[in-house]
Each structure stands twice: as C-alpha cells, then as structure tokens.
Chain A
Amino acid sequence: MKVKFYILALLVLAVSASCELDNFNEPDADFTGNIVYEGQAIPVARNQVRFELWQSGYGSPAPIDVAIAQDGSFSSRLFSGDYKLIFLPGEGPFRASSDTLYFNLSGNKTMDLNVTPYYMIRGAQFSQSSGTVSGTCGVDQIITGANGRAVERVTLVINRTQFVDTNSGGEGSIAQVDADLSDLSNLSMSVDIPEDAKKPDQDYIFARIGVKVEGIEDMIYTPVEKLNL
C-alpha cells in the first residue's frame, strides 16, 4: 500500500510539473539577408559589425545582437513576433538609416538591408606567383560632401584559413600590406607569403582587400578569394 502511495505522489508531481505554462515553443523563424548597397552585398570583417533587434512584450527589454558575416550576410533564429531593427551609430563602414525599422516575423523571412558605404571596392583582382600574392583594385567614394571621409589605408590581407580580416590579429591574417594611395582608382599591392615551419604545407591561400576609412573602426572588404598556389 505504501509503495503505491509513493508512486501516486510521484505521478501527481510529474503531471503537475509539466505544466503547459512553462513550455515555450522553440524559436521557429529564420531571419536572413544581406547588408547591401545597390543590390551588392557589402563584405565586412567577421563578427565585427552588428545590428540590434528588439522584440517587445517580454519582460525587461534587451537587444538581440545580430553579427554580420564576412560576406555581408546575416542570419538569426528568432521567435515569431514584432521586431525593431536598429543600426548603432558608428557601427560598420557605412551609414545606415538612423530610422528604426519595424517588421513582423512569422515564419522565415529574408530581408536585405540597404546601407550606404563610405567607399566601394571595384574590380578587385588577385593573383599569385612564386610565393607572392598581388592584388589590384579601385576605390570608389560613395559618400561625398560633409559626411564624406578620407581613406586611411587600403590593405591586402592574406590568411591560411577562409577567415580573413585585419581585426582578428593572428587569427585573421598571416600577412598584410598597405597600398600607395596616390591614385585611388588604380591601386596595387603585393605581399610575400610568410613561411612558418610549424604549420603544415597547404597549396592554397585566401586573400582579400580592405579599405580603412578615417575615423571609422570597421573596414570594408572585397569578398574572400581563394588562390591556388
């Protein structure tokens, strides 16, 4: 009899503990897209540029940070609901609309976010020969006038992995070189691939060019290019 009583008590506990109220549905909506200018995605450094999503209606508000990937895309798995999207001032190598963007999410959604970069890199070409990577490109000023900013440097970055940027220190680049800025429409730079006896040989390398704008932390890049050695 006593044993049965315990079983009963456990049963009651189990039933009452698994109450409907505690159970949320899992996040069910993918929010994806790119940050674009004139339909072209803007590549940036990995995990350096982000925007904020705010969902109202659940206790104290806190932002959901969405980091932008290397190729200018983003994706976030979210609960369905109403969202506000904000670009923080000073974030990213571009000027985004300072207006808050409202949107509703129910199910998956793809949305491209229009921003205006300070510069665009045009016609980037990479090549390699006998241990040297070369790159050429032109830089086009997009924002001019009072809000325009000068180019601080244009840098060719190479790395052994597909994550290439100047911000992540040794993780993001094994070598980099700045271009001579006398003619912004025709820039060229080349850098030797450093030898590192501790690392295994590989017959490919990744490269991209980045533009640092004066007074802006985040750089704007070309897409990552894989070069076979």
Chain B
Amino acid sequence: MKKHIYLLLIASVAIWSCSKNDEEFLDRPSTSILTQEQIFSDPKTTLSVLADLYNRYYDFGTVEDWASLAGFNVAYWSEAGRYPEFQNDGWGYGAWGTWDYAYIREINLFLERCSEATELTEEDKTRFLAEARFLRASYYFEMVKRMGGVPLILESETYDFSGDASYLQHPRETEAAIYDFVISEAEALKDILPNDANTKSRATKGAVLAMQARAALYAASIAKYGATTPQVSLPGGEVGIPASRANEYYTKALEASEAIINGEAGGYGLYTKKPDLSENFSSIFYDKANNPEAIFVEDYLVGGGKTHGYTIVNQPRFGAEEEEGGRINPSLQFVQSFELLDGTYAPLENEVGGAPVYFDNIGDIFQGRDARLAGTVILPGSKFKSTDVDIWAGVVLADGSVVSGDSRGQQKELPGMTGQVQVVGFDGPIDGLEFTAQTGFYIRKYQDPATGSGRRGTQSDVWFIRYRYAEVLLNAAEAAFELNQPELAAEYLNDVRERAGLTVPLTAADVTFDKIVHERYVELAFEGLHFFDLKRWRLAHVILDGNPISPEEVTENIGVATKRETQPYNIWPYKYYNPGDANDGKWLYRINRLSRITGSDRFRLGNYYSEIGQGLINNNPKLVRNPNQ
C-alpha cells in the first residue's frame, strides 16, 4: 500500500510540474554572460571591452619583459640562464615575428558592433570608435615594422563552412601601403580624439600625431636607406619602399612632429622639474604627476591589480628587496658614448700611455659627461633609493696583480696586513655571478624609487612610455635634417641636448647623420626603439656583422654610426693597495670582456623582416615569403 502512495505522489508532481509556461520559466537571462546589446548600451561596459583591447597593445620592448628593452648588446644580461644569448651567433629568421589577426578581428568586431549601438551617446561612441581605430593602426604599424607589408583586413570576416576558404585568403599589401594606412588613419583621427595632454593612457590627439610622426619617419628612412640594401626588398613591394617617396614621408614626419611641438595637441613639453639634470632625466620615467613629457603610456597601479616586476629584476643586488636584481648591465660601449659636456666624444680615460690613471673617488671617471648617463645607468659610486651601490671588482696590488673574491663582498687578507678586509663589492662585479653588475653598471631607466617596488608582493607601477616628447623632437630633427634644413634640425636637437646639460649648442654644420644616430642612441636607449632605428637605417647588418670586438677597437670610433656592436664590454673599478704610495686607496679602471661572452652577433639580411611561418603560407598560399630567408 505504501508503495502505491509514493507512486501516486510522484505521478501528481509530474503532472503539476508540466505547466504550459515551461518555456517562459526556463528562459532565464544569464547572470554571468553579457549579451552584445547589454554591452554596447552602457558606456562603462563598452569601455571595459575597449580596455581589453588597450591591454593587448603590442610593444616590442616593455617593462614587463626586461630583456626586450636591453637587446642588441647595448647591455649584458646578468642572469645565468640568459648567458647563451651571448654565446650564439645571431637570431633565427622567425625572431620578433608577430601575426595576431585574432586581435585585428576583435578590433574590427568592436568597431562594427559599437557603430551599430543605439543607446550610447554620439560623443561616447565617436571617441570609442576613434580609439579602436587608433589601436588597430598601432598594431598594423607594429606588424609592418617587423614583418613588412601584411594583409590589410579592415572588417571582420566569417567562414561560411562551404569547404572553400580561399575568399578569406588575402595577399600581402606593400610595405608602403601599410605605412600609408597608418599615416592616413592618424590624419583622420587626430581631430576626433580628445585634445588633452593630461590623458596619458588613452588615445589622444598627441598620441595619434606622435604615432604618425614615427610611422612617417620610419617609412621615409626605409625608402631612403633601403636603397643601400636592394637585396632586402621584394619585387611586389611587400618589403621595401621606393626611394622616390622618401621626401614625401619626411615632410609628413616633420609636419606631424611640429604639430605637437607647436602645441596643437595640448601642453606637451620636455620634463624639467628637477634641478639635478641626471635625476631629472630618470624622473621622466617614474614621475607620473603632471608629466608634460609623456604622450602615450601603458599605465600600472599598485593596489589596482596591474603591476610589473621591472624593478625586482633590475634593482641593485646589494640591499635589494628580494634575493635578485641586477639583470640589465649596460655595456662599456654604451656608457662611453655619452659625450663630455662640451659635446665631444671621449673614451673613459682609464689608462694614459699604458699606465693606469688613479682616481680619488670611485665615480670620478664618469664625471663631466652628458647628464643622461647617470640618469640612464647606475654608475659605481652612485645611489639607488638613497642607498650607495657597492660596485668594485677587487684590489690591485703594487705589482698589478688582482686580489678579488668569487662571492659578493668577500673578505681576504692582503699582503702586509693582518686581518681580513673586503676585496670585492657587494654588487660585484664578479665574472659569471648572476645579478651582480657584471659590466660594472646597472640600469637606472624605468627603475622605481618607491619603497616596495622591488618586492614581489608589491611590485612597481612605473608606467611604460610609448611616445614621449623628446622622441618627437628627435623625429622632427631627423626629418628636418633629411629635408636639408640643418638649422631646424640643430634647434630641435639642442632642445634635447640642453636638458642633458650639454653646454655647447650644435650649429647647423654639426648636424650629421652620425649625430642623429648618436642622439637617438643615448636619449632613447632601453625604450624599445633602438632595434627599429638599426633596421630602418639598414645599419643592423653592418654593426652586427658577426665579428668579435677586439680590446683595441672597443674604445675607438665613439659616436660613429657604423661602430660594431656585436659584443658588450665591461669596465671594472679596482681599489689600489700599496701602503706608502701616493696612490694607495685610490681607484683605477680596467676594460675587459666577460668570459661568458664567447659568441658575437651576426644580423643576417634575412633578419630584417621576420619570417612568415610555413604554417601561415600553407593556410594562405598568397602570402609571399620575406627576402633572404
């Protein structure tokens, strides 16, 4: 009987639950997925989609990946796992490639969906669309720099599952066409985007003009200097720009740069807030309050969920907030290329006629140079976060022999002395010991002086500057120089050089190609721009020619654009120990090459444009391979 009751109950439940409103009942809005309409009806949600697109912006160099800022032997990498980078002889053809059409597609989808939106205000919508177009142009710019001409896809495409995908296969545009696209998008967007110098991390008129200037300058120099390497081109123009277009692009570059310089995009200018010129220079990169120099940045926020570990991996090892740091060690060649204050080049004078020069203080050898040196590099005898660095390699005895240690700050007994004394700095340099200043230097640029920036639990929120005013000035100077206006070029160069403390202004006659190359090298080092400078001037295969650098040539030809850059050298401070001698306790310097550096980089012609993978060509046979690969 009990069984029957249960059956009856189940049957009744089954019957009652079948109401005719079933469909309505089950059709519930999702609580975890937003529909397209929901997103594009509210400016906040639309902005968060856009924020994702901003977040996926491609940078060649970024503070999130320290090695990307320090390549091409401008620095040695003081991390044991990275030594092989200095033991090989170059790069694969696929290096630096990028081919993210998924990103392009999502920007295209955003543009299509946002323009169909009905509930956004016209003002919001215009700005969102312009920003997305800026991001798309930025990525095409990034692709053309690395790959040459690429297929230009400006709307989202959908596969129809017909079994024939050939209508989705697009050939590569010419390199010039992609640059033209970037320049024309900038032209179209500059008057739509806000004219506001205080907006740094979203697209503004300043950002788009800076992009335009840079793109036009790159295109111009590829047109002009590409003529020296006719092998680096393709018959269809996918790589290489005709030399006849150089002037047109240089003119555009100058025009766009001058629009920023003349204040058309808001109050941008050089950062000159601090009296100490070196400190002033390093502050450009971490002072985020009313910084007139930064035009477009990737911003971070401690406590806001977006931080990076650049300071953790590069902080001076002695007194570091974690048991690591010191990875980027700028090379001797980089340090010596900073001019003396009167604008002349000079090697670091560690020897005269074979005899060592003795200095009273450890940092004296670096005195009297371009203020950007101490602003870019942590030199021996300088400070970081108000703490002295302890960079010295050992003790030199009267007979010239060296007493040193193989652990940081090691103590040993010196001849004629009882008890042990420290014979090597707590920051090294010790050959082969990672995180010590193996070239004798640490990097300062982009290091965050805030407490906790070197702690893994806190990290740093120093921004990464993609476009800054000094680069705009240098772009203008280069374009003016190439357009035969050396007076104008000198004027713009002098603006930048004056801030660096150089006392003798350049005259029109002083402005040469080598001077332009040099100025960009020292001003824009470790900002991810050096590589593209080498590429567009077609200098990469000249200075990275695969030959080792001899100790004699390393100090020669400073400031010459074609100076070999295949290996980084180091210069180490030593303390002189010779009681009774006048020089006892003074400092001397020795130039050397680290034992881990056994290779020398060779940039092959096929490296100028990254390889388009065989998989991509199989999927789309219309893609032409890049030359010399």
Taking beta carbons and an 8 Å cutoff, which residues of A are in contact with B? 60-63, 88-91, 166-171, 215-217
Contact = CB atoms under 8 A, between A and B. Distances in A.
B119 to A, nearest CB: 47
A171 B615 contact: no
A80 to B, nearest CB: 23
B614 A217 contact: no
A215 B231 contact: yes
A89 B628 CA distance: 7
What 7 A-B pairs have minimum CB-CB distances, sorted nearest first? A169-B600, A60-B618, A90-B628, A170-B548, A62-B614, A169-B546, A90-B231
Interface in B536-570: 541, 546-548, 566
A167 B627 contact: no
B605 A90 contact: yes
A217 B600 contact: no
Interface string B604-629: 11000000001100100000000111
A166 B618 contact: no
Contacts of A171: 89, 599
Contact of B618 (A61, A89, A168): A61
B602 interface: yes
Given A61-B618, A62-B614, A169-B599, A217 B546 contact: no
Contacts of A88: 628-629
A166 B547 contact: yes
B115 interface: no
B615 A217 contact: no
A60 B619 CA distance: 9
Contacts of B231: 90, 215-217
Given A60-B618, A88-B629, A90-B627, A169 B230 contact: no
A155 B615 CA distance: 40
A171 to B, nearest CB: 7
B598 interface: yes
B605 A169 contact: no
A91 B604 CA distance: 11
A185 B147 CA distance: 42
Contacts of B546: 166-169
Nearest to B621: A61
Interface in B338-359: none
A102 to B, nearest CB: 19
21 contacts: A60-B618, A61-B618, A62-B614, A89-B627, A89-B628, A90-B605, A90-B628, A91-B628, A168-B546, A169-B546, A169-B547, A169-B548, A169-B599, A170-B548, A170-B598, A170-B599, A170-B600, A215-B230, A216-B231, A217-B604, A217-B605
Contacts of B604: 217
B627 A60 contact: no
Contacts of A217: 231, 541, 604-605, 628
A88 B93 CA distance: 14
Given A167-B602, A168-B546, A169-B548, A60 B615 contact: yes
A165 to B, nearest CB: 10
A217 B566 CA distance: 17
A167 B547 CA distance: 7
Counting contact residues on chain B (CB < 8 A from A), the size range is 20 to 34
B467 to A, nearest CB: 35
Contacts of A60: 614-615, 618
Nearest to A165: B546
B357 to A, nearest CB: 26
A127 B629 CA distance: 38
Interface in B588-604: 598-600, 602, 604
A90 B628 CA distance: 6
A168 B629 contact: no
A63 B614 contact: yes
Nearest to A89: B627
A90 B626 CA distance: 11
A217 to B, nearest CB: 5
B599 to A, nearest CB: 6
Contacts of A169: 89, 546-548, 566, 599-600, 602
A118 to B, nearest CB: 13
Contacts of B599: 169-171
B421 to A, nearest CB: 30
A216 B628 CA distance: 10
A88 B231 CA distance: 12
Given A88-B629, A89-B627, A90-B628, A168 B89 contact: yes
Nearest to A167: B546
Nearest to A170: B548
Nearest to B604: A217
B602 to A, nearest CB: 6
A45 to B, nearest CB: 10
Interface in B84-119: 89
A123 B216 CA distance: 52
B235 to A, nearest CB: 10
Nearest to B600: A169
A156 to B, nearest CB: 15
B47 to A, nearest CB: 41
A91 B615 CA distance: 22
A174 to B, nearest CB: 10
B84 to A, nearest CB: 14
Contacts of A91: 628
A10 B87 CA distance: 49
Contacts of B229: 215
A216 B604 CA distance: 11
Contacts of B89: 167-169, 171
A151 to B, nearest CB: 17
Given A169-B566, A170-B599, A217-B628, 7 more contacts: A62-B614, A90-B628, A91-B628, A166-B547, A167-B602, A168-B546, A216-B231
Contacts of B548: 169-170
A216 B230 CA distance: 10
A79 B628 CA distance: 27
Nearest to A48: B604
Contacts of A89: 627-628
A147 to B, nearest CB: 13
Nearest to B597: A170
Contacts of B628: 88-91, 217
Interface in B364-404: none
A167 B604 CA distance: 10
A87 B110 CA distance: 44
Interface string B195-230: 000000000000000000000000000000000011
B191 to A, nearest CB: 44
A168 B231 CA distance: 22
Nearest to B614: A62
Contacts of A167: 89, 546, 602
A90 B232 CA distance: 9
B541 to A, nearest CB: 8
Nearest to A217: B605
Nearest to B613: A62
A64 to B, nearest CB: 11
Nearest to B566: A169
Nearest to A90: B628
A197 to B, nearest CB: 14
A171 B599 CA distance: 8
B569 to A, nearest CB: 14
A47 to B, nearest CB: 10
A217 B541 CA distance: 10
Interface string B515-544: 000000000000000000000000001000
A170 B602 CA distance: 12
A62 B89 CA distance: 25
Nearest to A169: B600
